[in-house]
Structure 1
């Protein structure tokens, strides 16, 4: 009976020792830092990973995340310096660098997110209020982000936090304003397109008018050159005929008469002439022995048509 009692007592003592040792030690992981509290007050800080000791039942441990934390903020509407309304959507990345101050001011991550969100929203409104719409969305966005981060970080130091980054994921006009802007842009583009089409039509008319004028000038020059060439050809023909007449007047008279027959007697024309008319002297062998008479005025001497 005594042996059994000793075993039970030994087991109880061992359990008490294990319990005391269990409550007297704690482990800090790589992603954590810990505060050792005694009666609510901070006694020590453990920032390095490892095994630590504390007084059991008197001291307790508060673990704080040591990683970089993300904070997504809801959309808010702000007014720029040029009185344009914007909807901005920001996010931040931060970490706890002073666990004692962090515990004393915000107590936990949820409290830190709430306080930091208020700081960021207030800072974004104040910085955006001094910048134009163009600076925010295009020309100076990175500079504004640096200014916001510096101000947020300055205020976050009092909470034991260090802000690593603050960015605006979205900076757009409100929906109703966006529709009005898109409509205005569409109207402007349509007006520009109409102006371009009008300019193109005017330019086309100018080109066509210039081309028509050039065609008229070219045709006039061509007609003038053609007339000059025909005149030169007629002059050469007359010169050749004159030379031929001076060489053989009888053959020239015969040739001219044949041309007159061709031009006068073609096309079914009916003529009433005297058989001994001088016009038909080359068709009457008996008349060829008589003295030639002047050709009648009614039968003009035809000229060779150089246009054929």
Structure 2
């Protein structure tokens, strides 16, 4: 009985090992990818390699388990965006430029030999895009760079990048300049200018309002004086009363708490006749 159990364990072990070897030796290749089979790190063959107009090689491929590995790469078009690339224009403007690149891997073996892994491709593209943007756009003015196609520079940028990425097994299909913005220093300068303009406009509005208020007060005072002068001729006694009331208000309206005003007037003064019922 014990021998039978030991025999069954050995059979189960070899069955599991066979399943593991079979699973590690089969690679499923989708239509949208190409697979490089590398043996001990060296590419030996490619499944479903891209060929313009060629048939699809998708399906099941075999490899040696544990000795060969499958490296999956995209077969179709891929996009890469490089944002906020610093460029100094020909008229000494610091700009931030966004670039969009469309590419295809046409030589997967070369890419694996150069980079080892497709995950490193974006980093290489970012470095190359920064170099060619600086080289091609630096002679142009900021206004030319901001134009659609950057004043005709886009085809030259695509050709420059394509010539450099061919060494990586990559074909650049399209290159576009996206957003173009002033750099941090230029944005701060523009903000300072706008803030200064806003403050000047606010001062001008306040000055106009003060001048308008003064003009209105002067006009009202003139109209009031005219009315009072006209009234004085019709009723001199009321005008004398109004003048006495105004002078009293002027003296005692806003007294100084420390030094309150006082008036010393004889009882028979004409100044008080209006307040004595006379």
TM-score range normalised by the length of the shorter chain: 0.5 to 0.7
SS in structure 2 at match of 1:22: helix
Structure 2 residue 131 is matched with structure 1 residue 122: yes
SS in structure 2 at match of 1:143: coil
The equivalent of 2:254 in structure 1 is none
Tell which structure's C-alpha radius of gyration is larger.
1
The equivalent of 1:107 in structure 2 is 116
**Higher RCO, 1 vs 2 (CA within 8 Å, ≥6 residues apart):** 2
Structure 2 residue 155 is matched with structure 1 residue 146: yes
C-alpha separation in 1, matches of 2:148 and 2:87: 18
SS in structure 2 at match of 1:64: strand
The equivalent of 2:27 in structure 1 is 26
C-alpha separation in 2, matches of 1:104 and 1:43: 11
SS in structure 1 at match of 2:31: coil
The equivalent of 1:59 in structure 2 is 68
The equivalent of 2:219 in structure 1 is none
Structure 2 residue 77 is matched with structure 1 residue 78: no
The equivalent of 2:13 in structure 1 is 12
TM-score, with structure 1 as normaliser: 0.53
Structure 2 residue 136 is matched with structure 1 residue 135: no
The equivalent of 2:45 in structure 1 is 44
SS in structure 2 at match of 1:30: coil
Task: State the shift of 1:12 in Å.
Answer: 3.4
How do 1:166-205 residues align onto structure 2 when only pairs under 5 Å count?
A: 166-174=175-183, 176-177=185-186
Task: State the shift of 1:6 in Å.
Answer: 5.2
Summarize deviations over 1:155-201 as a string: whole Å, max 9, x none: 011111122322222223335545767969xx9xxxxxxxxxxxxxx
Q: Which has the higher helix share?
A: 1
The equivalent of 1:306 in structure 2 is none
Task: State the shift of 1:147 in Å.
Answer: 0.9
Structure 1, unmatched stretches of 5+, are 188-308
How do 1:187-266 residues align onto structure 2 when only pairs under 5 Å count?
A: none
Does the Cα contact within 8 Å between 2:136 and 2:153 map onto a contact in 1? yes
Task: State the shift of 1:62 in Å.
Answer: 1.8
TM-score, with structure 2 as normaliser: 0.58
Structure 2, unmatched stretches of 5+, are 49-56, 198-278
SS in structure 2 at match of 1:131: coil
